[in-house]
Every structure is written in structure tokens, then in C-alpha cells.
Structure 1
Amino acid sequence: MSTLLLIRSSLLQDNSQSNRLADRFVAQWQAANPQGRVVVRDLAAQPLPHLSLAHVGAFGTPAEQRTPEQQALVAASDALIAELQGADVIALGLPLYNFGIPSTLKAYFDQIARAGITFRYTANGPEGLVKGKQVYVFAARGGLYKGQPHDTQTPFVRNFLGFLGMSDVRFVHAEGLAMGDEPRGRALAAAEAEVDALLEPVAA
């Protein structure tokens, strides 16, 4: 049975265009995979703690030497990683906040980036250990950023996922959403059409 992990990161939750695009994709994936399982990780509804010195200390302490507090921190991170590793497909709703990703998503990234567990360093350089995933990123922006030098978000997300071993990553961008009703309508229609085409080869 295939599993899809939906990661929602917008503070607007159900009013978010990035979440709506991701939800549209998930609905189509479910239609194409009626026996599939969907797991939802909503980082706005259930925000994770940001990385702290306590986390770093817990991650770096051998399991048999961890305090109960450290064990709890590691267990929470382990659960997120198990959830990620258990997914075949990942759908990420991604708004743009001040040229970057939401801090809640950064907190999630920091919780799943664990040396020796989701990546490792080898004689040939780092190797990602989260492999065999299909990742779809649904990015919504108020202005126009795609392909521009000031779009630091897209390469950051792609590089981070690639570092962990997820190289099969596709982006759908909906841009210009704050530039008036007409540009917004065109952008959403184009993004929705792009979403609708993502699974056509699989469904066929």
C-alpha cells in the first residue's frame, strides 16, 4: 500500500493557496491510488519546537547515556523521521515568507536532518539516506520570483531535500497572487492545470 505524506506549512491553513494546491494534488493521488494512505503533517496547526542546544545535545549523546529529557527530544524527532521514511510520495505546501520558508517548516527540517540517520558523511562526501521518494512542492507567492536571483526559496528547498537523498522533486509555482484579481486568476488557473497534469502518466 502506497503512502503519501502531506506537509502543510502555511499559517493561513485552509485559506492558503499553497495548501489548496497541495490538497488538489492529494485528492487526485487518492483517486489514482484508492488503497493508498494519506498522512497529514500540519505545521501551523501543530508547530514543532525550533532547534535548541538541548536538541543538539540530545542528538549527539549515545542512546544509552541520554537523560529522560533527551530521550523525549530524540523520540519526537525519530517519529517525524519514521513518518517521512514511511512515505512513498511527499506533497509540500510552501508559501513564501520574506523571501524564505516558514519558520515552522525550518523547524521541521531541523528535526529531520540527523547525521547518521537521514544523511551521513562518507569519504566521497555527504550521502542522503532518505531515498526512493517522489516529492511535489506547491509554492504560492504574492509576487513574481520564479527564475529570478531573489528566489532563494526554491534552490534552498531543492538543495535541502537533495542533501537528505530526495532528488526526485517537482515544483508547481503559483505567482503574482497579490498583483490583482486578473493576474491572480490566471496564475491559479495555470497552477491548477499543472497540478492536474502531474499524475496523468501514472493514472493512464
Structure 2
Amino acid sequence: MRFFAHIIALFLLVGCVSENPNKQPLQAALTHAKEVQQSVDAFDMDSIISVRERLNAAKEDVRWLGVETSVEFVRSDAPIIGKLSEASRYLKDAPQRFNSLTKESSRCISQIEGLLNVIDSGATIDAKGDPITQEYINENASREIKAVEKLQEVYDLSEHYFNLGLETDEKNWTSIDSLITAKKGVWARSIAEE
């Protein structure tokens, strides 16, 4: 009977050992970072880059056509050119944003997994030889949780810009392309007449 009493007491003592208060928030941040990483991976970057390149080529056409003396852009052309610039502006740094999100989500995941391993293993010295204290864990946990919050903000902003760029292009590309084609026609006729 005493044996069972000791086993019950042992289970009660083991059950009373408190878990590090940072563990659950870090696990939640890890899950969040992985979700952001999956969302980043789901971006259709081929389409975004294709639209971006098409818009950049159209802007270049407008530039060189604007220099030609035989081609005139009139006030009624301004809104169309404005939409071209607007769509292009939203997508101008799309590859850099995508790469940054990919790297930062991987970094967040790696750092949080490392910190969770430190908590689980009870390590007392980090890779640099610095002592691991509760304060050390608190500071690093806070930093990584904030990094994941910032990652989400940057993701949301990037997704917003990507969507605005694609929507602006979709709504206005026919007008943009028609304007450029018409101005190229004017330029071609002026060359033929020379």
C-alpha cells in the first residue's frame, strides 16, 4: 500500500512541475509563422511577375512614344496612363517582397523552433556560450513573437498591393493596350510618310 502511495505522490509532484510560460505563446507564434509561410508559397508569383513585366514594357512604350515628335498624348490619355502607372507602382517591388517574406518566415520558424528546443531541453548555455536564464528566454520569446506579428503585417500589406496591382491591370489593360497600339500606329504612319 505504501508503494502505491509513493507512486501517487510521485505522479502528483511530476504533474505540479510548471511549464515555461513562454512555451504556449511560442507554439502559437510558430503555428502562425508556418501559416504565413504557406500563404506566401500560395502566391501566384508567375502571374504577378508576368503582369509586372507587361506593365513595365507598356511604360517603356509610353516613354519612347512620348519623345517622338509625331506622336501626341492629349489630356484624355492622362487617366489611362495614370492607371498604367498605378498598376505598375503596386507591383514594382513584388519579387523583393516575395523573397523577403519567404526568408523572414523561414527565419521566424527556425528561431522559434530553436527557442522551443532550448526550453524543452533545459539547456543552460546558448550557441555563443552565453548563459540561458529565464530572462534570456523571456527576451527572445518576446522578440520572436513580435517578429511573427511584423511578418503578418508585411504579408498583409504585400497581399494588398499584389491584389490592387492585378485588379488595376485587369480593369484597365484593354484601354492601356489600345492607347499604346493607337499611338504606335500614328508613329508608324509618320515613319512611312517620311
TM-score, normalising length: structure 1: 0.22
Bigger fraction of residues in strand: 1
- TM-score, normalised relative to structure 2: 0.23
RCO higher in structure (CA 8 A, sep ≥6) = 2
| Structure that is richer in helix per residue | 2
Q: Which has the larger radius of gyration?
A: 2
